[in-house]
Amino acid sequence: MSMANTVSVGMQGQKIAEEYLTSRRCEILERNYRTRFGEIDLIIRDGQTIAFVEVKLRRTLRFGTPAEAVTKVKQKKIKRVALYYALRHNPNAAYRFDVVEILSLSGQKTMINHITDAFV
């Protein structure tokens, strides 16, 4: 898959995740929040909690489920970016890490699974 195609799939996944989350009354605070430590796809407010959300879309299960792509290394990067965000915005807020996995297999309905507190 080309880099341009990967970015396009990522943008499509993020759009699906945003629509899903806002339909559940979550507020999108940041999209593609980037620092020198890495990037977080979405930062949302869910009630009184701030969630750092990694979005993964897959069109095949050949390489595992979307959530399985959020490895320990990826989690560590997300945590570093989240700490940076928290220290600059609201260090006293309640925070969590979520994964929104989207499975869009050819000829089947797109499935969305929002995993709250996916890792600590």
* Backbone dihedral angles phi then psi of residue 36, each to the nearest 5 degrees: -70, -15
8-state DSSP, 26: P
How far apart (Å, rounded) are the C-alpha atoms in residues 8 and 70?
A: 19
Q: pLDDT tens string for the chain (120 positions)? A: 555 566 677 789 999 999 999 999 999 999 999 999 999 999 999 999 999 999 999 999 999 999 999 999 999 999 999 999 999 999 899 999 999 999 998 888 999 999 999 999
* Backbone dihedral angles phi then psi of residue 86, each to the nearest 5 degrees: -60, -45
Domains, the chain, ranges and CATH? Answer: 3-119 (3.40.1350.10)
